[in-house]
Amino acid sequence: MQVAKINRIMTDTTHRDALLAKIKSHDARVAVIGLGYVGLPLAVGFARVGFDVAGIEISEDKVGSINRGDNYIQDVDSDELKELVVAGKLRATNDFSVLKDTDCIVICVPTPLNKTSDPDISAIVSARDRIRENLHAPQLIILESTSYPGTVDELIKPYLAEAGLAVGQDYFLAFSPERVDPNNPVYKVENTPKVIGGVTPDCTEVAATFYGQLVKEVVSVSSPAAAEMTKLLENTFRLINIGLANEVAIICRLLGLDVWEVINAAATKPFGFMPFYPGPGLGGHCIPIDPSYLSWKLRAMKYRTRFIELANEINTAMPEYVVKQAVLALNDEGKAVKGAKTLLLGVAYKRDIDDIRESPAHDVLKLMEGYGAQVTYHDPHVPEWRDSDFQMKSVELTPVTLKAQDIVLIITDHSAVDYQLVSQHARLVFDTRNAMKNVKNPAAKIVKL
């Protein structure tokens, strides 16, 4: 028995040390499952520092684009992508059998909410199943997709154990939340600290060593659940504070105050205050969705996440509030909303990106059309806007276009838009982002959120 135990320890050490050695020498073969806004920048990053990377993607269009060296993610440098593909450091495939020859696997698949606002983790389950089919020793598996605390321990770890390999000995399992901020000019993958929570201390060590080849700072926590909760706290913090800013905007309008002036004045306090700003609603894949994962988890434990629910209620109601204020602004000008020519200025969910996921512009569009308005849009980053029930193309922003509108609704404050042009040729502008703050001598009537 003692001999067997010693042999087991030697085998365990060999697996861990062998994998660590391959990672440190950059000889480890890397697979990134999911080549979207999170996965592709990560795959490019690891290829850049010398790893051979296979990106696994179910979309044949994306696979073809990558292998041609064609970029489709704004935060990825197109020239660098092409160079890495030509050099053979990065390739894309929809064949999961490549996992048999892979040392390190990172799961970066989408985790949306379903129609009942419950977590849809089907993509994680699918990736887990394919990894299980190709699991071998030694191998590192990391989940980056946002999910509820306990996902790794409850959904991945028990299933992989059925392969007959020991976690922390034969293979290594961890969670590391993605921290992607699209179009952030300062913080990219390399200089954004990476949180790591492994199932065992050795799992944490191997995962931290892996990310340490790319990321400047790695922060280890005690468990996957702690890392999962870290991600949800980050975005719940933003959800709640944006909800507060949106409610303050409503309060300021009732009091006849300029919410932007109030927030900017408060932001001069050098301690105890962090400015958040109101808008027409939340968008993107993280802030509107991630806190709901936490609410869903806690409902099963018979606990009500009241702050999250209240913030969600306020933020979700903002598109309707914006439309009602737009209707009142039209009414003040003697114009009925029915038949009113309406231009949505910006439909991406945030400034200077092309991502329309969960954008409040969708709700504003449908509500305005529900009132009978004739709606078009302009967005320099979104030439074509498609959804399940409509398809539109961006109109050119010209004096003629602006003069034809009864109201212009600024939904996204893209820096490429000429707001001075808007102020000179539009008749009525409802500004939900304070984008018109620097215009001079506007001819248009400007109404602020």
- H helix or E strand, kind and range, residue 403: helix 399-403
Look at strands 52-56 and 29-33 and give their pairing: parallel
Q: Which DSSP state fits 234? A: H
**Sign of the dihedral defined by the CA atoms of residues 368, 182, 126, 231, in that order:** negative
Query: Nearest 5°: phi and psi at 410?
Result: -85, 110
For residues 263 and 249, is the Cβ–Cβ distance under 8 A?
no
Look at strands 390-393 and 445-448 and give their pairing: unpaired
- In whole angstroms, give the CA distance from residue 55 to residue 106: 10
Beta strands (DSSP E) in 209-288 are 218-221
Active-site residue (options: 108, 203, 252, 286) = 286
Look at strands 194-198 and 171-175 and give their pairing: antiparallel
C-beta atoms surrounding 413 within 10 Å: 20
- In whole angstroms, give the CA distance from residue 334 to residue 296: 46
Give the tokens for residue 160.
Answer: 């992989």
Is 252 catalytic? The answer is no
> Of the candidates 443, 442, 440, 368, which has an alpha carbon nearest to the alpha carbon of residue 409?
368
C-beta atoms surrounding 365 within 10 Å: 26
For residues 76 and 41, is the Cβ–Cβ distance under 8 A?
yes
Query: Nearest 5°: phi and psi at 402?
Result: -65, -40
Give the tokens for residue 10.
Answer: 């030697």
- In whole angstroms, give the CA distance from residue 289 to residue 316: 11
CA dihedral 236, 242, 248, 250 (to 10 degrees): -110
Q: How many residues does the chain have?
A: 449
- In whole angstroms, give the CA distance from residue 382 to residue 283: 15
C-alpha distance from residue 35 to each of 66, 93, 132, 160, 369 (Å): 9, 10, 20, 23, 35
Question: Which residues have a catalytic role annotated?
Answer: 286
